[in-house]
Structure 1
């Protein structure tokens, strides 16, 4: 019983990282596609100001996920990191380069240096979610059973590729939705429409990728496919679709505030649907939650530490996100943006 509770905590933490970290990756994705120095100056300036207060905080969720995996499910942790160390190392390198690029490009005075750091930030924002998604896809196929040696097949397969693309697409969708709201908050009317269109385009691309993914997983990850198309997994998938459609409707009407809520709901519900589709397995169909869990004493202490963290850190995160959403952490107006043209 306690192992199931910890597994749910792990799944919720993954959903939180996908939404929080994914929004940041999405900002980097649109930074990459913003165009040349002149055309992309205003979108990039908005991205810098919108991300600055929270981009480091969102990585706390990833650390929390790894701690839960390592402590609560050591067999699962060992299995995943042994079989798919290469994509996870590439994702980790991307995280480091992405952070360094974002932190260094703004204060760098030389144009050449800013371009190098900007490219480092933007490209890493594309590759990191792809490799993390590819690792998730490898788990879903069951190719990483306990004792499996590292091989390209574990993460270089149709399900891993489509999962990586879905991760990039979800990040682009979340990033554009949040940036549209930030543009309105900062008084940049032209950038509101700019990012609204990109959010709708990303949502359309996600719909196509999801349909392709359903076809691929039917043969390549049949257990998860069955879980997503029946029972509780299907209920969560339907709810995610409803949230996605609501987001499209809100964006079409120019409502950028509530569209953030529905966009996060669509992505989070999709992650929860994936978790429900895999139950009772951590790795279909070779490692159950009970088989991969640590000792009961360890799990109890882990839940206690999690509760303490929620009590101590949770309110601070809520305040931080609320202050950022209200614009109290960054003072930027359209006049500031005009100076970058």
Structure 2
């Protein structure tokens, strides 16, 4: 049995994965809020929900995508073989996800600056639908990589079946559900903080319902992975099993805390549950960057590049992380907001 040792590529990839987890949590809640915007109902029924959503994500929605940029830059620089393989095989879902982010951001910004009802509805619909489809395509990308459908090389994989397959479909659906769940949990706390207990109760019910759907999808997913991605399945029930168990425990704890209306603690437990799902995926396919052919060490750039990247990450972290923590905490401890102003229907 070979001994386990952490290499320089492992360290750099681990730091990149921390950024991926941060994007999954903060960007995921951001996308999920757009999904609830879509499902908020008509003009009158959904006005207060949409106002809470805009108030909650408005100050930080651009900052959340810093994490995605971080992940792409590290992957491109430190693991160029992996980056080019993913980018040239999965360019269809990646392009669709990019269009979704652009449409979503533009619609969210412009909806606030127009008063024409028809245009507001159009922009609201663009924001909400983009919030739904973008995480699906990102999840499909993860499914394509995890199921071994992205071989190393430029455009070496099938441009359709690499992301249109059972594992990618599972990844896309789980991404949508997890984002919606995170957003509902976060919005519960925001509603209470702003003095809207009835809205907190509405999103609590939605969070519990979404948690049930996510758990059911996860159970079905194990059977999907067993037949469609056996290498990943073996890793998940092997070395990744303790992480998966931790995720289940954290998820159950989050549900209990939601039932007890302990929203701050529920946020922490929910974040842990989602983070460990991502860690379980990484643990399950280790030591491969692109299973079953390209390992992390083989995909890595030269040592000088990795050392320079590591130094840059340490310096950048000292600047970026405190700034983001201050940004998030500033709006979380702000004074109670006034009654939400009605927002036009997006449907």
Q: TM-score range by the shorter chain?
A: over 0.9
User: Which residues of 2 match residues 180-259 of structure 1 at below 5 A?
Assistant: 180-231=188-239, 233-259=240-266
SS of alignment partner, residue 45 of structure 2: coil
Tell me which of 32, 42, 63 is aligned to 2:38.
Answer: 32
Question: Quick check: 1:169 aligned with 2:177?
Answer: yes
Partner of 1:100: 106
SS of alignment partner, residue 154 of structure 1: coil
| Structure 1: gaps of 5 or more residues | none
SS of alignment partner, residue 161 of structure 2: helix
The alpha-carbon distance between structure 1 residues 67 and 146, as it changes in their structure 2 partners (threshold 3 A), is: same
> Would you say the 8 A contact 1:82–1:150 is kept in 2?
no
CA RMSD after TM alignment: 1.2
> Would you say the 8 A contact 1:188–1:337 is kept in 2?
no
Partner of 1:72: 78
> Would you say the 8 A contact 1:85–1:150 is kept in 2?
no
Question: Quick check: 1:143 aligned with 2:149?
Answer: yes
Kindly state the Cα deviation for residue 7 of structure 1 after the two structures are TM-superposed: 1.3
Tell me which of 21, 26, 33 is aligned to 1:15.
Answer: 21
Kindly state the Cα deviation for residue 150 of structure 1 after the two structures are TM-superposed: 4.2
| Structure 2: gaps of 5 or more residues | 1-6
CA–CA separation in structure 2 for the residues paired with 1:29 and 1:267:
18
Kindly state the Cα deviation for residue 339 of structure 1 after the two structures are TM-superposed: 6.4
Partner of 1:6: 12
> Would you say the 8 A contact 1:178–1:260 is kept in 2?
yes
Moved over 2 A (4+): 337-341
Partner of 1:117: 123
Please give the TM-score of this superposition, normalised by the length of structure 2.
Answer: 0.95
